Amino acid sequence: MATGDIVREQWATRFGFILAAVGSAVGLGNIWRFPFQVGQEGGSAFLLMYFFFILLIGLPAMLVEFTVGRRTALSPIGALREVGGGAWKYVGALFVLIGFVILSYYSVVAGWVLRYFVGSFTGAYMDEPGEYFLDIATGLDAVLFHAAFLAITVGIVAFGIQRGIELAVKLMVPAIIAIMLGLAIYAATLAEVGEAYSYYLSPDVEVLQDDWRSIVPAAAGQAFFTLSLGMGVMITYASYLGEDRNLAEDSGVIIAFDTGIAFLTGLIVFPILFAAGIGAADPGAGAIFVALAGAFAEIQGGTIIGILFFGMFAVAALSSAISLLEVVVSNVIDEYGIDRSTAATAIGGGIFLLGVPVALFADANNEPIMVDLYDILAAEILLVTGGILLMILVGWIYAEQALDELRKGIGDLGALGEVWIWMVRVPVIVVLIVSLYLAVTGYWAFLTTDFADFLGM
């Protein structure tokens, strides 16, 4: 087990690196967050914007993180200190803070998944799927499962993750894909499938025109969140790369996997939601849980499928949570020389406390209100801010070195290198700034309406 970074650990194979990055990317963001964002933001209009942002922002931003990580072979604080000097290390510190915030509520939602996994053995959620979610989403149960999920995450990270992750993802990712395909086929047989597909798949330009002020920041935030960008996960993972591979090709593969799995989730969830008569208007944070629990109650062999699905879902969440905690832990190890298990345990304790309010408080309808408060702040505001700062640094200050790094393993980039850097320099930064502005405005509206109501103000 590594203590400190005397010899930096490395991925055993290129496939292992790709799968670990896919493991980080594929998680609650694809299976939980994506469908409820689609539902809240007008269906296919959101989907279109999301695809656009994955290509316009996600791909260039992932290349930025990969080149910085591989070139410096350091975790984010050290990497940004080396790349930008002086004050840029505080951006690395911001990344650590973001990881802290995201994992605190991520773990609460993952705790729900764990609860459903346990419940699927007895069919606990099948009688009253809607009620069941509201019962377990907040309260003592939620706190305990939040603690349990975080304890598993801490345990793995404390042990040193390279061999653990690389091995686990090789089993996990194929299993996820197989189970998702099976469920998508099942969903395609439901009577309401036509209505659901057209809601999900036929782009409605009018919705986009009317609601772009909330769709744009939601889609940009989701693009960052689902690809694990904006807080240095991909810097950290690329810092464990040995020989020089083709980073552009790797990014393409990772993005294709992540986007494919999110897309597949929509093909599963919307037919089931329509079939259950819930529709997709505003399904909220409980959508996926309620929809799938309802479906598993109906179908042949639902118990087994439920066990498989929620087991897979929990593992997917775990391999993402590990990457979030690893960023915080590896920075603390590098900066303060604290040993890995102490760091992981102490940080895990802090993250647990920050997540407790999310697991405790419900609004008048018993919905878990704090999730939105944390989630919008993290995805639409913090990650996008992290992204903007990193794009400025690499696009305008570190461009030559970044280009040089990208060339390794590719050779001559031709005009594409310039295209990438100029994408980062102007359109990506401009779109992100607009998106951040809209997000802050929207968040303020949320705080002064829904959230103020909850506080009784």
Binding ligand TRP by CB under 6 A: which of 324, 333, 406, 439? 324
Q: Is 233 in the site for ligand TRP (CB under 6 A)?
A: yes
Interface segment toward ligand TRP; rule CB under 6 A; list 26-34, 111-119, 196-204, 448-456: 26-34
Q: How far is the CB of 423 from ligand TRP (least distance, A)?
A: 21
Q: Which of 23, 29, 76, 387 binds ligand TRP (CB under 6 A)?
A: 29
Binding ligand TRP by CB under 6 A: which of 27, 119, 355, 442?
Answer: 27
User: At closest approach, how far in Å is the CB of 194 from ligand TRP?
Assistant: 29
Least separation in angstroms between CB 60 and ligand TRP: 16
Determine, following the binding rule CB under 6 A, whether residue 25 of this chain makes contact with ligand TRP. yes
Q: Taking the complex as a whole, how short is the minimal distance between the CB of residue 323 and ligand TRP, in angstroms?
A: 5
Q: What is the DSSP string of 96-144?
A: HHHHHHHHHHHHHHHHHHHHHHHHHTTTTTSS-HHHHHHHHHSSHHHHH
225 binds ligand TRP (CB under 6 A): yes
Residue 215 · residue 42 · CB < 8 Å: yes
Task: For the CB of residue 386, give the shortest distance to ligand TRP in the complex, in Å.
Answer: 9
Tokens of 256: 């294709």
**Residue 55: other Cβ atoms inside 10 A:** 12
Closest CA to 385 of 441, 318, 432, 348: 432
Q: Which residues make Cβ contacts (< 8 Å) with residue 135, sequence separation at least 6? A: 141, 366
Q: Which stretch binds ligand TRP (CB under 6 A): 25-33, 205-213, 277-285, 333-341?
A: 25-33
225 closest CA partner among 17, 390, 34:
34
Q: Smaller CB distance to ligand TRP: residue 46 or 132? A: 46
Q: In this chain, which of 40, 120, 162, 228 binds ligand TRP, going by CB under 6 A? A: 228
> Mapping DSSP to helix (H, G, I), strand (E, B) and coil, where does residue 278 land?
coil
Query: From residue 91 to residue 110, what is the string marking binding to ligand TRP with x (rule CB under 6 A)?
Result: -----------x--------
Of residues 225 and 420, the one with the C-beta less far from ligand TRP: 225
24 touches ligand TRP (CB under 6 A): yes
Q: How many residues bind ligand TRP (CB under 6 A)?
A: 17
Write down the least CB distance from residue 364 to ligand TRP, Å.
29
Q: Which residue, 24 or 67, has its beta carbon nearer to ligand TRP? A: 24
In angstroms, give the least distance from the CB of 31 to ligand TRP: 8
Q: Which is nearer to ligand TRP, 208 or 377 (CB)?
A: 377
Stretch that binds ligand TRP, among 57-65, 128-136, 220-228, 369-377 (CB under 6 A): 220-228
- Contact window for ligand TRP (CB under 6 A) among 120-128, 152-160, 244-252, 319-327: 319-327
116 counts as binding ligand TRP under rule CB under 6 A:
no
Check: CB of residue 8 under 8 Å from CB of residue 1: no
Q: Which residue number is nearest to ligand TRP in terms of Cβ?
A: 29
Q: Using CA atoms, how far apart are residues 109 and 102, in angstroms rounded to an integer?
A: 11
Angle (deg, nearest 10), helices 247-275 and 399-407: 90
Does position 374 bind ligand TRP by CB under 6 A? no
Query: With contact defined as beta carbons under 8 Å apart, do 63 and 420 qualify?
Result: yes
Report the residue number, 227 or 421, with the smaller CB distance to ligand TRP.
Answer: 227
Q: Find how far residue 57's CA is from the centre of its chain.
A: 15
| 185 Cβ contact list (under 8 Å, min separation 6) | none
Q: Is 220 in the site for ligand TRP (CB under 6 A)?
A: no
Q: Which residue is associated with the tokens 């316009």? A: 56
Cβ proximity of 361 and 138 under 8 Å: yes
Q: Supply the minimum distance, in Å, between the C-beta of residue 332 and ligand TRP.
A: 17
Q: Between the CA atoms of 133, 138, 144 and 150, what dihedral angle is there, to the nearest 10 degrees?
A: 90
Any idea which residue has 């700034």 for tokens? 433
Q: Which residue has the tokens 């989730």?
A: 265
By CB under 6 A, residue 271 contacts ligand TRP = no
Single out the segment in contact with ligand TRP by CB under 6 A; choices: 53-61, 134-142, 198-206, 320-328: 320-328
For ligand TRP, the closer of residues 25 and 423 by Cβ is 25
- The smaller minimum CB distance to ligand TRP, of residues 45 and 233, is found at 233
CB 38 within 8 A of CB 280: yes
As a whole number of angstroms, the distance between CA 265 and CA 28 comes to 11
Of 44 and 323, which has the nearer Cβ to ligand TRP? 323
Q: What sign does the CA torsion over 32, 35, 304, 170 have?
A: negative
> Quick count: other Cβ atoms within 10 Å of Cβ 297?
17
- Angle 247-275/162-188 helices, nearest 10 degrees? 40
Does 436 sit near ligand TRP (CB under 6 A)? no
**Which residues would be at the binding site for ligand TRP (CB under 6 A)?**
24-25, 27-30, 102, 225-226, 228, 230-231, 233, 320, 323-324, 383
